[in-house]
Amino acid sequence: MNNHKKYLQPKVIAQLKNIELKARLVVEGFIIGLHRSPYHGFSVEFAEHRQYRPGDEIRHIDWKVFGRTDKYFVKQFEEETNLRSVIALDSSASMRFASKGNISKFEYGTYLAAALGYLLIKQRDAVGIALYDTQVNTYLPPRSRQSYIHEILKVIDSTIPSNKTETAKALDLLAERISRRGLVIVISDFFDDPSSVMKALNHFRHKKHEVLAFQLLDPRELDFKFGRAATFKDIETGEELVTQPYQVQRSYSSAIKDFIFQIKRECRNNNIDYHLIDTSQPFDKALREYLTKRKRM
């Protein structure tokens, strides 16, 4: 495996201890992969400058850059930003699930949120973070200064999933809290009543936000291949059920497909970008979907 691809693998990143190192290596591995891939039209600019526009003050022109390129660029200051984003990470009970050999949905979500935050800050965009379960427990509003990423990563790294789940209620509360229009990136398994989840996601759209929804699911939640016998435990109540998975696999498979289809369809109908991610997949899929969305804005 190429070295850059290694750091896009969830189980490899999970072995690292420092959250900032995890975010940096995921993003760097992703960018190297973009440069080596056949995908065209993607660009990740970490420039400290932007091209001169009529009305810009001449004193801000970087003459050293002009000397190298014969083009006018002005120094870009930290308060300048092209996009305001809030990453909403589900830290509710259902996100704690992990099947054998995979990291939990919440752990995957923290790495994805950290990488997105790192990428946004490096692009000079403003980014904030919200962590929620039945309510919004932590909210840092969007900022674009480079040092802000340390605060965001600290909050992500210190959060422990709760024992309750009310995704729709929490997202509704968050929609009321974000005052200025921008991009809202929701990372969740969306395990709640689908109609309530969609009502909450549409709350963001009603407030003129763009929405990018990542539904994280464990591979076993998708295929229900738990072996011949298994004990299932309710994460919230602790109640256990011993059963033969094959006995319920068919009905479960139908139910989960209907659940995913309903959310995907309603997102499409309401101009919400929806992407299903399973926790065994490399992070580049989600990051590429973000760049696609960013390019259209």
The Cα–Cα gap between 128 and 118 comes to 11
Whole-angstrom CA distances from 223 to 1, 96, 189, 235, 248 are 27, 18, 15, 19, 12
Q: Give the closest residue to 34 by CA, choosing from 25, 43, 26.
A: 43
Q: Are strands 230-233 and 73-75 parallel, antiparallel or unpaired?
A: unpaired
The Cα–Cα gap between 166 and 132 comes to 9
Q: Report the predicted TM-score, pTM, of the whole model to 2 decimal places.
A: 0.82
Q: Is 250 exposed, middle or buried (0-12, 13-18, 19+ CB in 10 A)?
A: exposed
Could you give all domains of the chain from N- to C-terminal order, each with its CATH number? 47-77 (no CATH), 84-296 (3.40.50.410)
Residue type, 13: I
Q: Give the closest residue to 147 by CA, choosing from 117, 169, 173, 177.
A: 117
Mention every residue, 6+ apart, whose C-beta is less than 8 A from residue 169.
Answer: 134, 135, 196, 200
Q: Are strands 49-51 and 84-90 parallel, antiparallel or unpaired?
A: unpaired
Q: 93: which DSSP letter?
A: G
pLDDT in tens, the chain (297 residues): 667 789 999 999 999 999 999 999 999 999 888 766 554 445 555 446 667 777 777 777 778 877 878 887 776 554 455 789 999 999 999 999 999 999 999 999 999 999 999 999 988 899 999 999 999 999 999 998 889 999 999 999 999 998 788 899 999 999 999 989 999 999 999 999 999 999 999 999 999 999 999 999 999 999 877 655 555 555 556 666 555 556 566 777 888 899 999 999 999 999 999 999 999 999 999 999 999 898 888
Q: Is 51 exposed, middle or buried (0-12, 13-18, 19+ CB in 10 A)?
A: exposed
